[in-house]
Chains A and B, each alone.
Chain A
């Protein structure tokens, strides 16, 4: 039987579909009590990884466990892990309530649970309607309701924000956070960091089937070297002064400004004053997680990026 820890562990997971390597030697763990974002561009192997974790796809090598056990050894998996998968289906001619009752009996929970989860996702009024007539957002809510039927300890969601309206996304965010605060585990995949930035505590960033970063979101934010853009009266004099002050990373931008790394705006302005250089404008760059995410994952399709984009990227390096 499983250990009830709520821990997700992926170790050296690899999946080969014919000649295509979807996931390559992927490792990470997800702890209970937090929402972990599983991020990567489309085709990075996120869905395949989640499906291997859920026993739907057989790994070529490596292991994926929930509560210390592979999915098929969980006993009553519906009570341990609930999953919202992108392609999760519904019979179009089955009502929402009946759909949930079918799986309530499979999981072994009372029928009343079906109405309870419908209420939880805000679909009580649509309980008697056929799911075939639901909007994409309603279907996503239905998928969440199905995942919650067994009151699971672990929730795995694959791109759950797809099709949800802003209200739905806000609801999902609050729901997942309170779910995690109860000491449960949430793993949520997305190809947009911005989409989950406000929801997740930690992130696993994958690209080309490999882990690029794994840790708290806060550390990632701190990793970002802030830059200061300054427009001086004399670029050469300020550059010399800054180099003397120990700044190594200096770059002149095409618009005549200097990009300074390793100093904040105040230090740059002080250096300019000491060098007798006028400052016409100064700007501190905000840490942009999306750009870090971009940098971590851009390798995947680097060969196809248009030239201007490459230059811009080069400026960051």
Chain B
């Protein structure tokens, strides 16, 4: 098995795709971090002006302690994990496209072995992308805001955990879907369209139709957004003092966790989607006639 894992790892490192996708990942993470820091800082400055302070004093809230940049971190992770998603989707789709899948299956003891080795290697890549995302998002925030806008060490640890988890799961979701739809261009377009357009339209439709808000949290993007967004909101609320209930709702929407369950439950819901995609792709690849 170790030999196959090494072979799969070599497949990823001997072509340019890993860094071709890592560059935009890092740029989105850094850009998101810079923007989150800047916006968070400016919101606090607005709230700290004397007039706003009177209002917030009257409401009994302390907005100068609100770490708005946290909400941006959640959003940034959601957007940046699109790249590991694409990286994963091309794992099998590219092999089918270039027909290297034939040699892959001819040199592995079984297709199950080949797929398992691929899964391990892409989980590793998901981790690498996840660490890069949280690292560069943090760098962006550090460069643009003061320490008051940043979470504490425990907060960073929690964000790192959900960012890496989210990145691994997105990569795996991609691997599964790429096996299910082994057409490089097709699967990439489908995933981008789904995560950026289709599901957002679907969420809007559900809200307009009056379906309970929580339904959104069971959709693929809704749940993976909830994984990171819920943690961002939790960390925000932990330091925010009193926040009106309506405010919490909007905070969740801003962080991308509108309608989502708690972070761990959101993670489990998305894991179920990953299992469905991966299971389907696995079944297809182990049965498919390679002609």
Contacts and interface: CB of A to CB of B under 8 A. Distances in A.
B51 interface: no
A93 interface: yes
B153 to A, nearest CB: 40
Contacts, number: 87
A70 to B, nearest CB: 11
B7 A88 contact: no
Given A77-B106, A91-B94, A91-B100, A105 B15 contact: no
A244 B101 CA distance: 67
A94 B103 contact: no
A177 B85 CA distance: 49
Contacts of A216: none
Nearest to A130: B15
Interface residues of B, number: 28
Nearest to B94: A91
B87 to A, nearest CB: 15
A83 B290 CA distance: 14
B98 A90 contact: yes
A105 B10 CA distance: 9
A56 B290 contact: yes
A146 B105 CA distance: 13
Interface string A92-106: 111100110111011
Contacts of A47: 291
B146 interface: no
B246 interface: no
B245 interface: no
A102 B291 contact: no
Contacts of B111: 72
A95 B14 CA distance: 8
B100 A106 contact: no
A75 B14 CA distance: 27
Interface in A260-290: none
A78 B290 contact: no
Nearest to B290: A56
B4 interface: yes
B290 A77 contact: no
Contact of A103 (B7, B16, B287): B7
- The size class of the interface chain A forms with chain B is 35 or more
Interface string B251-291: 00000000000000000000000000000000000010111
14 contacts: A51-B290, A51-B291, A57-B291, A72-B110, A77-B109, A83-B106, A87-B99, A88-B99, A90-B100, A94-B14, A95-B14, A101-B14, A103-B107, A105-B7
B104 interface: yes
A146 B106 CA distance: 11
B7 A102 contact: yes
A55 interface: yes
A254 B16 CA distance: 68
B289 A56 contact: yes
B9 to A, nearest CB: 8
A54 B6 CA distance: 23
B253 to A, nearest CB: 42
B98 A106 contact: no
A107 interface: yes
Nearest to A98: B14
A102 B99 contact: no
A89 B106 CA distance: 12
B291 A54 contact: no
B258 to A, nearest CB: 41
A62 interface: no
Contact of B106 (A48, A56, A57, A95): A56
B201 to A, nearest CB: 36
Interface string B1-27: 001101100110011100000000000
Interface in A26-70: 47-48, 51, 54-58
Interface string A71-82: 010111110010
B102 interface: yes
Contacts of B289: 51, 56-58
Contacts of A74: 109
Contacts of B3: 105-108
Given A58-B289, A102-B11, A108-B3, A88 B109 contact: no
B108 interface: yes
B10 A88 contact: no
Contacts of B108: 77, 106
A108 B4 CA distance: 8
Contacts of A95: 14
Contact of B107 (A51, A78, A93): A78
B290 A57 contact: yes
Contacts of A72: 109-111
Nearest to B7: A106
A105 to B, nearest CB: 4
A238 interface: no
Contacts of B94: 91
Given A93-B16, A106-B108, A98 B99 contact: no
B182 to A, nearest CB: 13
Contacts of B109: 72, 74-77
